[in-house]
Structure 1
Amino acid sequence: MRNKIELKKTLGLGGLILFGLAYMTPMIVFGTYGVIYEESGGQVATSYIFAMIAMLFTAVSYAVMAKKIPESGSSYGYVSKVFGEKLGFLVGWIILLDYLFLPMVIWLIGGVYLEAYAPNVPGWFWLVAFIVLTTGLNIIGFGVAKKINLVLMILQLAVIIAFCALAITIIGDQPAVTPAAPDFNLTFIGAAIACYSFLGFDAVSTMAEDTKEPQKNVPKAIIWVTLLGGTIFAGASFILGAAFPDISLFASDSAAADMATQIGGVAFSSVFVATLVVAQFTSGVSAQAGASRLLFAMGRDGVLPGKMFGALHSKFHTPWISIILVGIVGLLALKMDITTSTSFINFGAFLAFIFVNLCAVVTYLRMEPAQRTISNALTHLVAPVLGVLCITKLLISLDSHAITLGLCWLVAGAALLVFLTQKGAKLELDME
């Protein structure tokens, strides 16, 4: 029997949307702009539009599955129920690339900007500070975090609007650049990286057991988060592209800070960097919370050691051991760069997205004939199939090193599955 352990239901629809947007961090469009510009040949806005379309198809599949299976675990839980526990374990292992390492990348980006702004302070200090603060906040509970998210989200949106407004004032002042012919291969490479910015929509599904009326609120939040985030990313990157047609003189990892100085002076640049760092902190809180819920679900189901990962804090009712583990993994940021780490994470996310889309298709095929309405065909069949096609194209567009690292992670997961099976580990989910 499954342990009678329950998470606190503290999130409504608004709080869940805030969680997803905080996870996404709208200001990440500035944090990764230089990297995507470099990899896409300057086609940043187009890359974001392509990424949003692919994510919307997959978001529909997540919404479908979240309504049918309102539990923590996200893609791991969906695949386990539809395809079986062993494949579910492998997908859960793959998505750990996303959930375990995403907080690391978030803290890495925040640390890069702080180090560029205050070069006399060692980078490791900022990283450790991020980890300690977010870990403590997540252990106390997400009820506190969501209040902070609201304030910080308003601050982020205000700075995004100010940045774009200032950028609009200099459109046409920069040296003219002859636009190159569109290169769709580069666009897909850029979109594959841009998808990193959208990962908050699937994290919403990990909070099902923290949410009131999850079958109603989780599907709505998934779609809203994808649409709102994508609109912000595509709109802001279009304005930046018009204002700064050539950013080759800026450092790619922190190009937005140089742009902020150029359009608003040192004072605005200081406000921008401070807000970006605070936004990264907010995103780190949400990312760490989502990762800990996935580990909690796998520990509770027995596919990971239950005494460790399935345990909740006696006072705060949060998966505190999993939260601390995610913080420890974040220390790997000391040896990683932004481009490789974002691509590495996306490999795991893309594979998981493909399987969630397939879950929706299988769910449709298992329906009674009377249930196969036009509406269900669109949400359970058409959108998921298009999602698989788009995500597959993005997957093969990833950096070769990221694909190699991802495949190594997958092989390690398969080996672990064999080991657990031979040791008689509990791999059957309690369906009650």
Structure 2
Amino acid sequence: MTTTDLPAPSSQPRLRRALGPTALVLFGLTYLAPVTVFTTYGIVTKSTDNHLPSAYVVALVAMLFTALSYGAMARRYPVSGSAYTYTQQAFGGHVGFLTGWTLMLDYLFLPMINFLLIGIYLNTQFPDVPQWVFALAALLLVLVFNVLGITLVNRLNIAIVALSVLLVVVFAVLAIKELVTNPSAETPSLIEPFLPGEGGLGPVFAGAAVLALSFLGFDAVSTLAEEAKNPKRDIPRAILLTTLIGGAIFIVVSWLGALVFPDWHAFGDVDSAGVDLMAKVGGTFLTSFFVAVYVVGAFGSGMTTQVSVSRIIYAMGRDRVLPGIFGRLHPRFRTPWVAAIAVSIVSLLALVLTLDVAATMISFGALAAFSMVNLSVIRTHLFPRGGRDAASAGEWFRYGVLPAIGFLLTVWLWTSLTATTFVVGLSWMLLGAVYLAVLTRGFRRRPPVMDFSEKDTEPEPAGA
């Protein structure tokens, strides 16, 4: 069954094309959140023995190749659905479903992680209030904003990115001042944080695998193709810019942090290591300012992550890959409100899970999906179903060599994840395979396939 078998879409509400290139980049940056460098700062600094910057460099290089692949596929298929859409068109509905299902593990957990972090950091300032109270309040507020519409989310994104960038700049200035005015014998050399530690490259790649979740902002941009004014041009550009800008911020902040706070053993709590880092360079005032901005940034990231995953679920529900109720839009706000509620229910796990457990599970689906998108570029552009004329040398490089490098790098990072991550990730994939078997009656029927006509999206009125 395809979406062409469904009732004519003219009577249904449409996603609104309201986002230009700047809004798309702001969405991506808010999703990855410039302050997200502090999310796993303590965890990865500990695992790499204060070589967090080197792990970010590895992650950025790997993600740049994958970002180029996302851009190539977004240009070919400018619709919602992200990796699910791309692999479905390249390899068929079964592979597309399993890719989308695997990626959903990360997307479903990302909002939850942000709510969990809001609880952790606000609890450092208000220890008498339980963490779950803050987490639940943030969850409900994000749900309301998501239902009200993408335009409201975009306006909030501008303020959130501005505050996050301000915090990063203030931290950088005070960190440099600390290094100049209060040099310490324990301060490492300027290049030491970028070099492998005593454990070699293994811990660096393991850290980079965890940090891959920090770059999901570029994947999130691709989910807004049906709400972009010019998706074929603006989505690929926004994907690349989001990756470059976010990666640069992560590397600079982690490098300065490694210089001013070289002994990770002194962290009071690795989950909230950012508080110790801010206290070192700016005292109580900067710590309070950091917590405030971090919470705002986590709220914005939680909001944009929920926007993205709800649109993936909406696309799969519209296909009848998931129950059709998930493919419904709110008649007034034209937002996937049923999918948003479902994501909020999953996010309630923030009330019971710990940060280290959530962080170790979340990169599995992202790296698996990134690998499939790289392969999808090769299949779609060089070996499409039905064949094509011989590719030029430039096409072989752009659509063959570059995505092949991206594939190898993401697989390398994927194999660096922990055993627990693989148990959870493979269990989730198995559950998806069972569901797909039921959906297709033992794989005897083809799964639903999307119709990629532009009729499913209503253009933004002139002057809107």
Q: TM-score range by the shorter chain?
A: over 0.9
Kindly provide the CA deviation profile for residues 209-237 of structure 1, in whole angstroms up to 9, marking residues without a partner as x: 01111111111110010000000001111
Deviates more, 1:8-17 or 1:362-371: 362-371
Q: Distance in 1 between matches of 2:450 and 2:216?
A: 29
What's the offset of the Cα at 1:328?
1.0
Q: Which position in structure 2 is the counterpart of 1:287?
A: 305
Q: Distance in 2 between matches of 1:425 and 1:163?
A: 56
2:136 pairs, out of 94, 112, 128, with: 128
CA contact (8 A) 1:192 1:343 kept: no
Q: Distance in 2 between matches of 1:56 and 1:226?
A: 7
Give me the CA root mean square deviation: 1.7
Q: Which position in structure 1 is the counterpart of 2:244?
A: 227
Q: Which position in structure 2 is the counterpart of 1:298?
A: 316
**Pair 1:341–1:10, CA change in 2 (3 A):** same
Q: Distance in 2 between matches of 1:9 and 1:140?
A: 15
1:407 pairs, out of 423, 426, 434, with: 426
Q: Which aligned pairs between 1:242-321 and structure 2 lie closer than 5 A?
A: 242-250=259-267, 251-306=269-324, 308-321=325-338
2:382 equivalent to 1:382: no
Q: Which position in structure 1 is the counterpart of 2:218?
A: 201
Q: Distance in 2 between matches of 1:357 and 1:421?
A: 27
Deviates more, 1:27-36 or 1:311-320: 27-36
Instruction: Give the partner amino acid of 1:393.
Output: W
What's the offset of the Cα at 1:369?
6.9
What's the offset of the Cα at 1:426?
7.3
Kindly provide the CA deviation profile for residues 366-408 of structure 1, in whole angstroms up to 9, marking residues without a partner as x: 3777673344323211111111111111111112111110000
2:15 pairs, out of 7, 27, 32, with: 7
Q: Which position in structure 1 is the counterpart of 2:117?
A: 109
Kindly provide the CA deviation profile for residues 146-189 of structure 1, in whole angstroms up to 9, marking residues without a partner as x: 11110111111011010111111222634416765462001001
Q: Which aligned pairs between 1:313-392 and structure 2 lie closer than 5 A?
A: 313-366=330-383, 372-392=391-411
Q: Distance in 2 between matches of 1:255 and 1:174?
A: 20
What's the offset of the Cα at 1:335?
2.3
Q: Which position in structure 2 is the counterpart of 1:189?
A: 206
Q: Which position in structure 2 is the counterpart of 1:397?
A: 416
CA contact (8 A) 2:80 2:226 kept: yes
CA contact (8 A) 2:261 2:280 kept: no
Q: Distance in 2 between matches of 1:175 and 1:119?
A: 35
2:258 equivalent to 1:238: no
CA contact (8 A) 2:49 2:264 kept: no
Q: Distance in 2 between matches of 1:125 and 1:150?
A: 27
Q: Which aligned pairs between 1:62-73 and structure 2 lie closer than 5 A?
A: 62-73=70-81
CA contact (8 A) 1:177 1:246 kept: no
Kindly provide the CA deviation profile for residues 55-87 of structure 1, in whole angstroms up to 9, marking residues without a partner as x: 001011100000000010000011111111111
Query: 3-state SS of the aligned residue for 2:420?
Result: helix
Q: Distance in 2 between matches of 1:217 and 1:124?
A: 39
Query: 3-state SS of the aligned residue for 1:317?
Result: coil
Query: Alignment identity in percent?
Result: 39
Q: Distance in 2 between matches of 1:274 and 1:21?
A: 18
CA contact (8 A) 1:72 1:206 kept: yes
Q: Distance in 2 between matches of 1:296 and 1:425?
A: 22
CA contact (8 A) 1:68 1:215 kept: yes
**Pair 1:112–1:371, CA change in 2 (3 A):** farther
Unaligned segments of structure 2, at least 5 residues: 454-464
**Pair 1:421–1:369, CA change in 2 (3 A):** closer
2:183 pairs, out of 173, 179, 184, with: 173
Q: Which position in structure 2 is the counterpart of 1:155?
A: 163
Instruction: Give the partner amino acid of 1:116.
Output: T
Deviates more, 1:31-40 or 1:184-193: 31-40
Instruction: Give the partner amino acid of 2:186.
Output: A
Query: 3-state SS of the aligned residue for 2:113?
Result: helix
Kindly provide the CA deviation profile for residues 130-160 of structure 1, in whole angstroms up to 9, marking residues without a partner as x: 1111100010001011111101111110110
Kindly provide the CA deviation profile for residues 191-217 of structure 1, in whole angstroms up to 9, marking residues without a partner as x: 111111111111111111011111111
Kindly provide the CA deviation profile for residues 4-43 of structure 1, in whole angstroms up to 9, marking residues without a partner as x: 2420111111000000000000101122211110111211
Q: Which aligned pairs between 1:32-71 and structure 2 lie closer than 5 A?
A: 32-71=40-79
Instruction: Give the partner amino acid of 2:359.
Output: T
CA contact (8 A) 1:111 1:127 kept: yes
What's the offset of the Cα at 1:305?
0.8
| TM-score when normalising by structure 1 | 0.96
Q: Distance in 2 between matches of 1:374 and 1:260?
A: 51
Q: Distance in 1 between matches of 2:49 and 2:148?
A: 44
Q: Distance in 2 between matches of 1:14 and 1:182?
A: 42
Q: Distance in 1 between matches of 2:128 and 2:312?
A: 38
CA contact (8 A) 1:78 1:359 kept: yes
CA contact (8 A) 1:364 1:380 kept: yes
Deviates more, 1:419-428 or 1:68-77: 419-428
| TM-score when normalising by structure 2 | 0.90
CA contact (8 A) 1:72 1:207 kept: yes
CA contact (8 A) 2:149 2:333 kept: yes
What's the offset of the Cα at 1:118?
1.2
